Amino acid sequence: MQENKVKMASDNATNKRGGKSFGCSFSCILILVVSAFFMRGCSMDNMESVLEVQRTPLSYVAGLIDGLALVEGQIDREDATLRTILGGTPCVYYSWVKERKTEDDEGNTSWETVDSKSDAVDFDLIDKSGDVLIRNSRAGAYYSRETGSTQYGDFRERENAILHDDTVTVVGYYSESAHQIGDDRRQSDNAVELSVSSLGERGIVSSLGWGSILYMMGAIAAVLLSVYLAMNYYKAHHIMSATMLVMAILPPLLLLQWVVTTSGELIKSETRVYQYRAMVKETQVGSTSSIRHALIKRDANTSAELYEQYRTRYTNILHVWLGGYEQFEPIPYVPGEQAIFKEYPDRPRVGSVLPWWQVMLAGVGSVIAMIAAGRKGYKDLKTKRRIENIPTSPIRGVVPGLTEVVGEISSQSRVINARYSGNKVVYCRYSKQRRVTNSKGKTRWRTVESGVSKVVFEIEDNTGSIKIDTDQATVTAPNTHSVTSGSLRYNEWTLSPGQELYVLGPAVLESLTDPALTIKHSTTEEHFIVSSNGEASVLFQYAYAGLGLLCLSLLGCIGAMIVFYGGASFDAFAYFAAAIGSASFLFLLNLAFMFNDLIFMKNWLSRAKANLNVSLKRRADLIPNLVKIVKTALSFEKDVQSRLTELQGSISGDAATAEPVGELQKRFTALLEEYPQIRTDNLVTDLNNRIVMVENQLEFARTGLNAVTRTHNTRIRKFPDSLMASLMRMEMGEYFQLEHQNEGRAVDVSALLKTEKQKQEELEDQQRQENYENATSEFNRQHGIVIAPLYCIMLANEEKADAEINELKKAVDALTKLEDEDAFADYIVALQTDIKERGLDPVVEDVSTQLQAISGTDLASELIERFNLLAHADDVYDKREYQVVDKFRDALGGEVQPAEGEQPKRNLLKKLSGPKRADRSAEQELLMLTLVTLCSADGEIESSEYESIVDFVLANSTLVHRNEVRKLAGKSLERIKREGLDEVVDQVAARLAGELSSDVAVQLAQYIQQLIDVDGSTHENENKMSRRYLEQLDS
């Protein structure tokens, strides 16, 4: 009952969250849709204004008629009653602003408006034919140039104005009864508001044109954002879904807008022509002014010409055919009117709406934005498709190449300490921010320190483990530490042991001798993700990031098409053409995605089949060889037992025929030395383990193939991928078709016969390595590693008094239980002497180097807490003290590096190095070259030979670490590859007689002779080389 109540409460909470999420998403989408329609309306108002201005004749005052008018002339000086504030020049309009320079705490400057003022007065516009009143005080837009600016101290003033001697262009509604432009009662009926410009007609139409484009881009952006939010809410992340939504919304709406706008403008233009022609008849009958009649007649013909240009545009042919818009013949002029036209000539009009340099700048910028956002969005969506297409593999089933695994960070992984919290982690991204305040009192956080600390770690599942190297990976980690202390804020994003990770990346071998794969960055694979979130979360993260960037790219594509088209021919068709272009862009992008995905799936299926065939071949070749070796070992044991029985019989037989006891003992001892292990229990166990491992790998390969086949078959049968797959002639994949491959060389499994003596030697080698790394004096190991860093922090400002030394003693005692106070005093004296001789910085470098040895331990965590207490003890930010603390934090975080070109001079704390060994590097190099060339004679070195070489060098040299021996072997192989085997053999043979010590030479000769005796099928080249080396060693 209680469980049901808990479940019902959880379901109710989920439903409430879902309801809130739906309400929030619906509200945002509704606001965006309303905003889109509003901006679309503003865009079309500006578009209609541009088209009407373009089709309105540039008239003289005497030729004005009721309706929209476009005139150009001078200002009546008597009406220029205003004065500019800066220059005191007469004007009819000015806009003045005063600004003050401000500077924030970071030194960034900005200008803040402290005062502004603008004013306008009505004026009479005068041209050759007369004058007309301009209701300038009611104008909706002013287009003026800057007439003055000044700067003094931290202030500056700027002013724009229309001066009394400017030539002005005015567009607005003309009332013949009032003989004025700007009648409020009729101005609102026109799309074009009253505009006064000292920049000519270009200033008006260019401003309106860019306004139309920007409003339309805003409307399209709102539509794309609403599509993005809808897909985000419904968890739809396929690019085809986004394409269908965009194609279902943008082209139909912009097509309807183009049809309505073009039809409306054709009707307005045709009506205007009829109005002019009616005025021509009216002035011809009752007019007493031949000038007015002639000017109206010319404007009527100009209006008809402009109407005809708009009617015959190729984008308007369909509208004209459906609407039946007629063509107007020009009205003939009489001879007397030609003389009037000479006195009142036509004035030039603006050609293109948008200046070419602005078109190029905006268009190229849009194209760059389209390419940049599209490239990044394509990459994110490609990553998302990889996550979808690649099945999650068990760790034991990982093969070289791109792989996807899920597992927990192993508790056995090496850890480091987080920079600020001191927690044990394998990855830490940190950030330190300081609160800064600007002159306006606004605060913000500025990052003063950031970085990443990391180590190679392992993740594991129920099948095995694999190493992860996060270098150059995209890592998503939770924020595990966020602390504010005074004006500083500390944040950490960490990965810790026991945390589950999702990993998508290339699995590679770090070296030819590495027995296990590592997931790390590869130059041949761009996908490498490590995330603490699940696969679904990572998929949606990349899907929505890619879709968002794709929307930006689409917006850039639309903007480029609108700008370039608008620069040539500005009308509503540009928006519809951009919608069609964007749909084509999305369609081509979908084709690219489908083609690349299907190619990937085809190759991935082939890879899965190849991996299965490799596993089958391994089983077919390896198992028989293993069984053969075990049978040989069993027969060998039987032979040894027989020989022991024979020896026993010789000892207990007739004294007259028995061999001397001493001789029998020698034979028995020789037998034991020749066969140190005569039991096969471990060998049989190893055989069973190997069989289980091979069968598990085969099962993983079979499961992987079936998973890839299922994904492949699903993809090529789903619409629209099925269309592309049929064009590419892709066929359904088959589930696990068995293909035995018995060809090839048998696997060498002699490593399974390793003796107990060899295993014991390996254990002793590991023990020596641990003793070598951990050897230290008792006091320095327990106390010196704590005393030195704390004392250096105390000395960051000045020498400390005895009282503070006592505080230090207490802190050390709290951490490491200090018992010998005399040794503590001696250590402090030694530290002080060293600091006086060398200075504090070199000692800090040496201490930082030694702190790395305790990174990831509990002591390191406690030290970091002590560092924090010392750094914040007096609530004063001391730069020197923080530098020392940060240096030690770096060391405990595993990232400390010695200064460039500088080697540590002394080491107060260490005394960790084990006993020094004699420098016999030349002998070790010669020994390794001899063995590697000998085993390379047949073209390759098998794993058993390689391990045998390592064991021999460890036993007969001063090297104590297997890693050192492996590095030496790697250098020898590189030298053979670089210089050639024959050349290296000649060099080795020449050096063998004189550069090896006698005991090493004897051991080497016995080892080579043993190889010849044991391996009866020795390669001819190997046999020849062995004899040559033995001759040199004998000499």
Q: Taking 50 as the threshold, does the pLDDT of residue 122 lie above it? A: yes
Cβ proximity of 326 and 274 under 8 Å: no
Q: Name residue 450's beta-bridge partners.
A: 431
CA distances from 641 to 661, 686, 1014 (A): 20, 23, 21
Q: Which of 356-360, 477-481, 528-532, 1000-1004 has the lowest mean pLDDT?
A: 1000-1004
Q: Taking 50 as the threshold, does the pLDDT of residue 99 lie above it? A: yes
The listed range with the strongest mean pLDDT (69-73, 138-142, 462-466) is 69-73
What is the rounded distance in angstroms from the CA atom of residue 93 to the CA atom of residue 84? 8
Q: Taking 60 as the threshold, does the pLDDT of residue 190 lie above it? A: no
Cβ proximity of 69 and 56 under 8 Å: yes
Output the six-digit token pair for 297.
């007649």
What is the rounded distance in angstroms from the CA atom of residue 436 to the CA atom of residue 487? 8
Cβ proximity of 955 and 765 under 8 Å: no
CA distances from 108 to 80, 92, 432, 442, 738 (A): 42, 38, 21, 14, 71
Q: What digits encode the pLDDT tens for the residues 78-88?
A: 999 999 999 89
Mean per-residue pLDDT, 736-760: 46
* CA proximity to 725, closest of 620, 899, 617, 599: 599
pLDDT of amino acid 11: 46
Mean per-residue pLDDT, 252-264: 88
Q: Name residue 489's beta-bridge partners.
A: 433, 484
Q: Taking 70 as the threshold, does the pLDDT of residue 55 lie above it? A: yes
Output the six-digit token pair for 743.
């060809």
Where b means 16+ CB within 10 Å and e means fewer, 976-1010 reads beeeebeebbeebbebbeeebeeebbebbbebbee
The runs of H, that is alpha helices, within 64-199 are 184-187
Look up residue 460 and give its DSSP letter. E
Look up residue 521 and give its DSSP letter. -
pLDDT of amino acid 5: 40
Cβ proximity of 501 and 406 under 8 Å: yes
- φ/ψ (deg, to 5) at 775: -65, 130
Q: Name residue 94's beta-bridge partners.
A: 119, 161
Q: Which of 34-48, 188-202, 735-749 has the lowest mean pLDDT?
A: 735-749
pLDDT of amino acid 396: 78
Pick left, alpha or beta for residue 153 (phi over 0 → left; psi -120 to 50 → alpha; otherwise beta).
left
Counted residue by residue, the chain has a size of 1035
Output the six-digit token pair for 464.
């095995």
pLDDT of amino acid 698: 62
684 confidence band (pLDDT: 50, 70, 90): low
664 confidence band (pLDDT: 50, 70, 90): very low
What is the rounded distance in angstroms from the CA atom of residue 278 to the CA atom of residue 282? 6
Output the six-digit token pair for 219.
């409307």
Output the six-digit token pair for 838.
């060398």
More confident residue, 696 or 136: 136
Q: Which of 913-922, 924-933, 981-990 has the lowest mean pLDDT?
A: 913-922
How are beta strands 457-460 and 424-425 bridged, if at all?
A: unpaired
Look up residue 332 and give its DSSP letter. P
pLDDT of amino acid 6: 37
pLDDT of amino acid 653: 43
Q: Taking 90 as the threshold, does the pLDDT of residue 426 lie above it? A: yes
Q: Which of 43-47, 159-163, 243-247 has the lowest mean pLDDT?
A: 243-247
703 confidence band (pLDDT: 50, 70, 90): low
Q: Taking 50 as the threshold, does the pLDDT of residue 807 lie above it? A: yes
Pick left, alpha or beta for residue 589 (phi over 0 → left; psi -120 to 50 → alpha; otherwise beta).
alpha
Cβ proximity of 499 and 396 under 8 Å: no
Q: Interior CA angle at 839 toward 838 and 841, to 5°?
A: 115
Rg (CA), the chain: 44
Cβ neighbours around 251 below 10 Å, total: 18
Cβ proximity of 493 and 429 under 8 Å: yes
Percent over 70 (pLDDT), the chain: 71
Cβ neighbours around 147 below 10 Å, total: 21
pLDDT of amino acid 792: 82
Cβ proximity of 197 and 208 under 8 Å: no
* CA proximity to 475, closest of 426, 433, 432, 523: 426
Taking the C-alpha atoms of 634, 637, 641 and 644 in order, what is their torsion angle to the nearest 10 degrees? 160
pLDDT of amino acid 1017: 46
Where b means 16+ CB within 10 Å and e means fewer, 468-481 reads bbbeebebbbeebb
What is the rounded distance in angstroms from the CA atom of residue 755 to the CA atom of residue 209? 89
More confident residue, 565 or 712: 565
Q: Name residue 59's beta-bridge partners.
A: 71
Q: Taking 90 as the threshold, does the pLDDT of residue 584 lie above it? A: no
Question: Which helix (H) or strand (E) is 158 found in, with range?
Answer: strand 155-163
Q: Which of 6-10, 50-54, 170-174, 231-235 has the lowest mean pLDDT?
A: 6-10
Cβ proximity of 929 and 975 under 8 Å: yes
Q: Taking 50 as the threshold, does the pLDDT of residue 780 lie above it? A: yes
Q: Interior CA angle at 1020 toward 1019 and 1024, to 5°?
A: 115
pLDDT of amino acid 943: 63
Cβ neighbours around 714 below 10 Å, total: 11
pLDDT of amino acid 431: 94
Residue in the structure block whose two tokens are 């390592």: 950
What is the rounded distance in angstroms from the CA atom of residue 727 to the CA atom of residue 467? 42
More confident residue, 949 or 79: 79
More confident residue, 941 or 417: 417
What is the rounded distance in angstroms from the CA atom of residue 973 to the CA atom of residue 943? 14
Q: What digits encode the pLDDT tens for the residues 861-899?
A: 888 877 777 766 555 556 777 778 888 888 887 443 443
Mean per-residue pLDDT, 1003-1010: 76
What is the rounded distance in angstroms from the CA atom of residue 406 to the CA atom of residue 532? 10
Where b means 16+ CB within 10 Å and e means fewer, 208-234 reads bbbbbbbbbbbbbbbbbbbbbbbbbee
More confident residue, 950 or 915: 950
115 confidence band (pLDDT: 50, 70, 90): very high
Q: Taking 90 as the threshold, does the pLDDT of residue 787 lie above it? A: no
CA 615, 619, 620, 622 dihedral sign is positive
What is the rounded distance in angstroms from the CA atom of residue 132 to the CA atom of residue 181? 7
Cβ neighbours around 952 below 10 Å, total: 17
What is the rounded distance in angstroms from the CA atom of residue 774 to the CA atom of residue 6? 54
Mean pLDDT (the chain) is 77
Question: Which helix (H) or strand (E) is 828 found in, with range?
Answer: helix 821-838
Could you write out the three-class secondary structure of 699-710? HHHHHHHHHHHH
What is the rounded distance in angstroms from the CA atom of residue 88 to the CA atom of residue 91? 9
